[in-house]
Amino acid sequence: MLWDIQGENQVSGRCLNYVSGASAMVYVVDGTRLETLPIALEYRCVVESHIGRSIPSIMLFNKSDLAAGWEISSSLISDLESDGIFALLTSCREGSGVGTAFDLITRVMMGKTALMPVMTQRQSLPDMDEPIQPRI
């Protein structure tokens, strides 16, 4: 089952009801809005605490097609990866990275692969560090 929190800024009891039996989570952060990152991180902590265990999760940094407007640097993403968060760049508008993310999380849930932080090749963003590119 997929469930979209529709931009909710706080973890609600309703959200926790939906994730109780989750096998994996996909968190989406808007790369052009830094304030979406702490919300996604809070959701991750609360969900895992509610479930009572760590589950496979991917944090998607969306809007990679709008590189000039990014507020999230590659060094921040690298710091998250160092903390064990698997990150991928996506662009829903262009369709890039989205299929990769769902393919990867499905393979992890089926036990066919493990999530490891990627820390791979970078794509330039103007006036900031470079974000990571997916590598599978």
Which residues touch 100 (CB under 8 Å, ≥6 apart)? Answer: 88, 134, 136
Say which CATH number the domain at 87 has.
Answer: 3.40.50.300
Q: Is residue 95 classed exposed, middle or buried when 0-12, 13-18 and 19+ CB atoms within 10 A define those classes?
A: exposed
User: Which structural domain range is residue 91 located in?
Assistant: 24-136
pLDDT at 90: 92
Asked if residue 8 belongs to a domain, the reply is no
Whether 79 shows a pLDDT value over 50: the answer reads yes
Span 8-47, pLDDT tens digits = 666 666 667 777 777 888 889 999 999 989 988 988 888 8
Counting Cα atoms < 13 Å in the Cβ hemisphere of 38 gives 3
Asked if residue 71 belongs to a domain, the reply is: yes
Rounded Cα–Cα distance for residues 36 and 9 (Å): 8
2 falls within a domain: no
Residue 126 pLDDT greater than 80, yes or no: no
pTM of this structure: 0.76
Number of compact structural domains in the chain: 1
Which residues lie closer than 8 Å to 54 by C-beta, 6 or more apart? 48
Specify if 9 maps to a domain: no
pLDDT of 128 > 70? The answer is no
DSSP helix/strand/coil, 68: helix
105: pLDDT confidence band, cut at 50, 70 and 90?
confident
Task: Tell me whether residue 83 is in a domain.
Answer: yes
pLDDT bucket at 122, cuts 50 / 70 / 90: very low
Position 130 scores a pLDDT of: 45
Q: Is residue 18 part of a domain?
A: no
Statement: residue 119 has pLDDT above 60: no
Mean pLDDT of 68-90: 88
Residue 92 lies in a domain: yes
End-to-end CA distance of the chain: 24
Domain assignment of residue 4, yes or no: no
